[in-house]
Amino acid sequence: MREIAVAVQNENEQVGVEETIRSIKKVGFENVFVQWYDEDWEISQEAQIEMCKKIGLHIEFAHLGYHGINAIWLEGEEGERFVERYQKDIKDCKENGISLVVMHLVSRRNPPQYGEIGLERIRKITQYARELGVKVAFENTAIKGYLEYVLENIQDDNVGMCLDSGHLHVFFDDEFNFELAKNRIFAVHLHDNDQSDDLHLLPFDGTVNWKFIVQKLKECNYGGPVTLEITYRYDYLKKSLDEFYQKGYRVGCELASQFENQKTLLLDKI
């Protein structure tokens, strides 16, 4: 059965990130991804990585920040600064033993048209990453066209995508050109919603068709871990943090079994 991973989530409510990391390890996870957002958190992103390593959690990838990302498509110094910022982030991640990063390409608010200005900046970022031996996975976010444009125009073997099941469901009604993604899905963010918003629920707690998601990932030859991007909030706060991640681990095992065509668990036990 393939590996199972989960996000070290800084947006969990009523708990700190150190408590989150310890709970993730306690319930059986061995793999995580971290948020490399350059935020002024009480516990820095570097310290979070050290915490994970100290208790034996393997870091699959780092999710880079995206505040103000629309500027990368526009003329001006702000867009150029994004190139320098992401090159530094990639270098820092590599020095911390992380060889895969996930990036957004656009935000929902006032998105500019994609085009050559942004594409050339992204090429500078991905080429720098290639020199360091780092893969870059661009996420399917809320606006159609940006990911497709980048994947069609940058064919380097270190450039691919991160398939986000929640975004696919709520923003695109599960429609995507999976032929474009064949052999190019480097990472996944697996979570659920009811199409009302991007809720980051546990799989099977919303309306995502998980058989469809697993089948498409298999058709695209995705061979990486079952990676959950879930958040402790909403009704989950009625459970303890450990109970939340225990259920997350069982859900991850269910999805992993579906990938391997093994007999699935009974969902009423999840």
Nearest-5° Cα angle at 197, 19 to 119 = 90
Beta strands in 8-77 (DSSP E): 31-36, 58-64
- Identify the bridge partners of residue 5 per DSSP, sorted by sequence position: 31, 227
Give the pLDDT score at 265: 46
Reported as a single tens digit per residue, the pLDDT across 69-123 is 999 999 999 999 999 999 999 999 999 999 999 999 999 889 999 999 999 999 9
Reported as a single tens digit per residue, the pLDDT across 214-245 is 999 999 999 999 999 999 999 999 999 999 99
List domains and CATH numbers for the chain. Answer: 4-269 (3.20.20.150)
Q: Are 106 and 73 in contact (CB under 8 A)?
A: yes
pTM of the model: 0.95
Beta strands in 203-263 (DSSP E): 226-228
Residue 263 predicted with pLDDT over 70: no
